[in-house]
Each structure stands twice: as C-alpha cells, then as structure tokens.
Amino acid sequence: MVRAVVFDVGETLIDETRIFSRWADRLDVPRGTFLGLVGACAAADRPLVEAFELVRPGLDLSAEMARWAAEDPTGLRENFDADDLYDDVRPALSALRDAGLAVVVAGNQPPQARAALEAMDLPVDAIRTSDEWGVEKPAPAFFDRVAELAGHAASDIAYVGDRLDNDVLPAADAGMRPVLVRRGPWGYWHATRPEAARVDVVDSLAELVGLLTR
C-alpha cells in the first residue's frame, strides 16, 4: 500500500523549456537547434552535457555558469521559478495529500533549487536535493535517503520521475513503486522502451491519486 509519494524535479514538476531556451540564447544558437540536441541526447542515452559541448566545443560549463551569474546576478539564468511549474503540479500534490498520503520532493538538483521550490509554497511535506545529501540518483544510497525522509518503508513509497535510467528503475530496484511521467525529452522516449513495462506510466500527475489509492 502506498503511503508516500516522492517526486523528481526536472521535467516531473518543472518544465525546463525556458531554462534550455535561455541556454540557447546564452550560447548564441537557435532555440530549436539546442532543444533538438537535448532531445537527441535523451534518445541516444547520451549525457546532457554533450548538447552543450556540440554547440560550444571545449565549454567549461561550471565556469560559464559562474560568468553568467556575475553578468546577470538577479536573472534566472539556469534556474527555475514558479512560472516553470507544470499546470498539473499543484492540483495533483493537493489531491494526494487530501487522500492522506505524504508528499515529498527529492531529486538531483543544485544547492539553490531547494530555496526555489520552497518559495513556491507547494503542498508538500518535505523538499530535499542531492546536493544536500551528497549523493545523486541513480545511486542506491539516494533512495535510502528518500525512504528516511518519507518516513516509510520503501515498499510503501511511490517514486515519480521522467526517466527510466535515473529515476524509476533505480527506485523499483530499491523496492519502491515506480511511476514514469511521459513528458519532457526523456519521458517521451523512455515510455516507448521495453523496460517501461516494469513501471506505471502516466501522462499527467492528475492520474496519480487514482492510480496510487485504488
């Protein structure tokens, strides 16, 4: 029986279109080109950083982010805010809590992400990031921390994410109920793969309360 639902962040709660569009502008390439390269990385199981390296060979991404922050300290840059939330997020989180489930957010995110999420006043019980824990998905230790945070046994937790490799299959291996949301570059591709038969697949977070409480 599911007692807690834990959510990934990027392309699960947050639509990253504006983030990648700002990066395209920063790197001086057409937005459609850069978004296409991001999708190509998803389709080919290549690291996302390769999209950056293709358009700017030799790019030091950390150094570029530092320069960007110095030039535009008050801008969003590579970050997100409430305007990037998918439309189904708040209603779905509220419905899950109303159904008596604990709702938690835990994903691979940089240090500033927790404050950005907390500023949205989402109906959740806790928010944590990989940066705080010092461990990232898909490491089993990440999902150990998820279970500790949720306060339930792994078998009582559903983990919702947009990737098979990084999110829901490692969650399944940890004993959690895996739910793949079919959106974002990875979500659409991964939903077509044979391994998706191991997980629940939804097109919207609005489906979760019916799926997890029946």
- Residues 90-136 pLDDT 10s: 999 999 999 999 999 999 999 899 999 999 999 999 999 999 999 99
111 preceded by a cis bond (ω within 30 of 0): no
User: According to the model, what pLDDT value does residue 208 have?
Assistant: 98
- One-letter amino acid identity for 15? D
Q: Where are the domains of the chain?
A: 4-15+82-213, 17-71
Q: Say how far apart CA 121 and CA 12 lie, in whole Å.
A: 17
User: According to the model, what pLDDT value does residue 214 have?
Assistant: 80
Structure tokens at 71: 């030039």
User: According to the model, what pLDDT value does residue 73 have?
Assistant: 94
Please name the residue that has the structure tokens 């358009």.
55
Q: Say how far apart CA 23 and CA 149 lie, in whole Å.
A: 33
User: According to the model, what pLDDT value does residue 27 have?
Assistant: 97
User: According to the model, what pLDDT value does residue 193 have?
Assistant: 97
* Fold designation for 4-15+82-213: Rossmann fold (3.40.50)
Closest CA relative to residue 173, chosen from 146, 197, 138: 138
Structure tokens at 55: 């358009």
Regions of the chain with pLDDT less than 70: none
Structure tokens at 6: 């834990």
User: According to the model, what pLDDT value does residue 46 have?
Assistant: 94
Kindly list the distances between the CA atom of residue 56 and the CA atoms of 47, 53, 214, in Å, as whole numbers in the listed order.
15, 5, 49
